[in-house]
Structure 1
């Protein structure tokens, strides 16, 4: 699992594949006593599409609802299985993969981010 987390943190991808990714925000609320907010979403990434390498202004927890095969920029393919969990830390680039095969990746994400900041920033 540690290798998978490292791949998700540092892989790179072209931005164009993000267009068909579907993110459905389920709930957003202030984090009591802070200047942060919690955002709960479900993200679907269909085959052939992907997530660009990016960062967040806070923490992101990911739980894989339906796993899929990830195609990495170096040509390797790895499994991101149902039931996997990853925590992406503030300002550390992650993602950067495409979905290979015929299964859509479906994830539950929980972001705890600085209020008023964008949920994600493309990484350089």
Structure 2
């Protein structure tokens, strides 16, 4: 009788601690976020070392309020942006802008400065998957 109760208690503790950790990460990220990120949020979903030494895979959900843009930035590796909902416009370096709707994706080459903007009438979200160097910050602001 004690063993099933112990297993249940451990399961609940694991679930609660995971939820608290996720909330703590979101709170820390939002507290550290500069003013230009109002209306823009990122929730990390997965982070895992990969077989290439010094690299990791990060997956995040990025939500954009209507009219909000992520400032020009780059990443120390490739990004695959998959639009989950809404309409996002991506401006990569000096290329013409590309508009993607839910279900469309775009590969952003390593180190390429880019801007993503919600050009739809409602909320827009993307699933961003990064294959990046571990020794560098995920996001580098570009002028």
Could you state the TM-score of these two structures normalised by the residue count of structure 1? 0.73
- Counterpart-to-counterpart distance in 1, 2:74 and 2:88: 22
Q: Show the counterpart of 2:136.
A: 117
TM alignment of 1:30-41, pairs within 5 A: 30-41=49-60
Residue number among 53, 64, 73 corresponding to 2:83 in the alignment: 64
Structure 1 segments, 4+ long, off by >3 Å, are 69-72
Per the alignment, residue 64 of structure 2 pairs with 45
Structure 2: gaps spanning 5 or more residues: 1-33, 92-96
The CA deviation at 1:31 is 1.1
- Note if contact 1:17-1:49 (Cα within 8 Å) is conserved in structure 2: no
- For the aligned residue pairs, the C-alpha RMSD in angstroms reads 2.5
- Could you say which structure has the larger radius of gyration? 2
TM (normalized to structure 2)?
Answer: 0.64
1:21-32 matches, within 5 Å, as 21-32=40-51
Distance 1:47 1:35, change over 3 A: same
Instruction: Verify the 8 A CA contact 2:48 2:57 in the aligned structure 1.
Output: yes
